């Protein structure tokens, strides 16, 4: 099984040359929240050439908060943020493996932030941390 913490370290460091080795050539990556499907090369470009939020490529960090594994799948919940902490996101990743390489990855990205005003107005829920 792949070293999922090292995989995320390489994703966050935007190491294109290293990321290819984690994937089968025919793998697909789906970002469901934006209705996008990527080939391995497209995923690597989207990840490694991204420099939004006023930071340069390579200035991203994060932490894997939860890992669940099965025989052929790794599920992670990961917090991702620029090193300058100008934004914060969570991504839930369902990583399907074949021969110890990623054959499919389904990801769900969300911006971190305050609860919507309508729930604040209802005075329900509380901060997790």
How far apart, in whole angstroms, are the C-alpha atoms of residue 7 and residue 18? 9
How far apart, in whole angstroms, are the C-alpha atoms of residue 97 and residue 101? 5
39 exposure class (CB count in 10 Å sphere: 0-12, 13-18, 19+) = middle
**pLDDT band for position 109 (cuts 50, 70, 90):** very high
Query: How do residues 48-73 score in pLDDT, each as one tens digit?
Result: 887 766 677 668 999 999 999 999 99
Query: Domains in the chain, please, with CATH?
Result: 4-122 (3.10.450.50)
Query: How do residues 1-50 score in pLDDT, each as one tens digit?
Result: 899 999 999 999 999 999 999 999 999 999 999 999 999 999 999 998 87
The predicted pLDDT at position 53 comes to: 67
Label the pairing between strands 60-69 and 89-98. Answer: unpaired
């Amino acid at each position: 099984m792949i070293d999922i913490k090292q995989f995320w370290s390489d994703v966050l460091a935007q190491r294109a040359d290293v990321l290819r080795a984690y994937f089968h050539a025919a793998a697909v990556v789906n970002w469901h929240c934006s209705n996008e499907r990527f080939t391995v090369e497209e995923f690597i470009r989207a990840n490694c050439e991204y420099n939004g939020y006023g930071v340069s490529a390579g200035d991203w960090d994060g932490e894997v908060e939860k890992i669940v594994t099965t025989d052929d799948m790794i599920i992670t919940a990961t917090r991702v943020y620029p090193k300058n902490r100008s934004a914060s996101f969570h991504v839930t990743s369902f990583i399907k493996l074949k021969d110890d390489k990623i054959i499919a990855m389904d990801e769900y990205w969300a911006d971190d932030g305050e609860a919507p005003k309508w729930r604040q107005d209802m005075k329900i829920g509380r901060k997790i941390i």
